[in-house]
Amino acid sequence: NAGVMQNPRHLVRRRGQEARLRCSPMKGHSHVYWYRQLPEEGLKFMVYLQKENIIDESGMPKERFSAEFPKEGPSILRIQQVVRGDSAAYFCASSPPSGGGNTEAFFGQGTRLTVV
Amino acid sequence: DAKTTQPPSMDCAEGRAANLPCNHSTISGNEYVYWYRQIHSQGPQYIIHGLKNNETNEMASLIITEDRKSSTLILPHATLRDTAVYYCIVRPTLFSGAGSYQLTFGKGTKLSVIP
């Protein structure tokens, strides 16, 4: 059973370009979380999605950032018009249909975004 | 903000037990205690979680005090590969809207296993 797969592992974008980060959850998992880790800082929650629904986006920046988890295919975190401050590691986690807080989430290896 | 307090760093000799403490004095009766670790630059790795009873799995043991205000993660025989930042997290048993679904990572404890 493959783990959470994120791609690309490393992404370099020029200021003003768009970044698309992909996350394929573990088999049987229908819930996806996105976290961001700025250099030398802790992980910060961004968004929680179920198939075709955004459940909690309380950690998402109000502009330029969006996320989706379509019925088919991976979850996508999209950053438009990237700026240097977007440089960070972005981690995705997945969990099975919710048993509430008694359901562990498993993380991928992350995408390291560098904006030049 | 994280609802847990952990020492910023600890050392442990290789082969010895590593005991990582966590204070969660404001924990409520419907919150789990979770432990994750992050080995340099990798994604966080789930270790163990519990509600009231002590728990053990192939990686570690979790000891929760009777009043649930603190817990200890025990790695029984630490190896160099256990060097990582360890995060203690409280999480509600039932999700109740925005902000309740997430795992809230604090600063954690940086464990260094020394040869």
Name the band, by pLDDT with cuts 50, 70 and 90, for residue B3: confident
pLDDT at A46: 96
Residue B1: count of CB within 10 angstroms of its CB? 5
Out of A45, A100, A110, whose CB is closest to B43?
A110
Confidence (pLDDT) at A20: 98
In this structure, the dihedral spanned by the alpha carbons of residues A88, A93, A98 and A103, taken in order and rounded to 10 degrees, is: -110
pLDDT in tens, chain A (116 residues): 579 999 999 999 999 999 999 999 999 899 999 999 998 888 999 999 998 999 999 999 999 999 999 999 999 999 999 999 999 999 999 998 866 777 889 999 999 999 99
Q: Calculate what percentage of chain B has a pLDDT beyond 70.
A: 92
Note whether A101 contacts B99, CB cutoff 8 Å: no
CA atoms within 13 A on the CB side of B5: 6
Identify whether the C-beta of residue B113 lies closer than 8 Å to the C-beta of residue B80.
yes
For the segment B36-86, what is each residue's pLDDT rounded down to a tens digit?
999 988 999 999 999 998 999 999 999 999 999 999 999 999 999 999 999
Q: How is chain B split among helix, strand and coil, in percent rounded to 5?
A: 5, 45, 50
Per-residue pLDDT tens digits for A43-60: 999 999 998 999 999 999
> Residue B82 phi/psi, 5° resolution?
-85, -5
The CA distance from A85 to A82, in Å, is 8
Give the pLDDT of residue B99.
66
For residue B98, pLDDT over 70 is answered with no
Q: If we measure between CA atoms, which residue out of A111, A87, A90, A92 comes closest to residue A13? A: A87
Are A42 and B108 in contact (CB < 8 Å)? Answer: yes
Contact list, B42 vs chain A (CB under 8 Å): 109-110
What mean pLDDT value characterizes chain B? 92
Chain B touched by A88 (CB under 8 Å): no
| Alpha-carbon span B31 to B75, nearest angstrom | 23
pLDDT at position A25: 95
Q: What is the pLDDT of residue B49?
A: 94
The contacts of residue B96 (CB under 8 Å, 6+ apart) are: none
The shortest C-alpha distance from B107 to chain A (Å) reads 6
Strand partners, B115: none
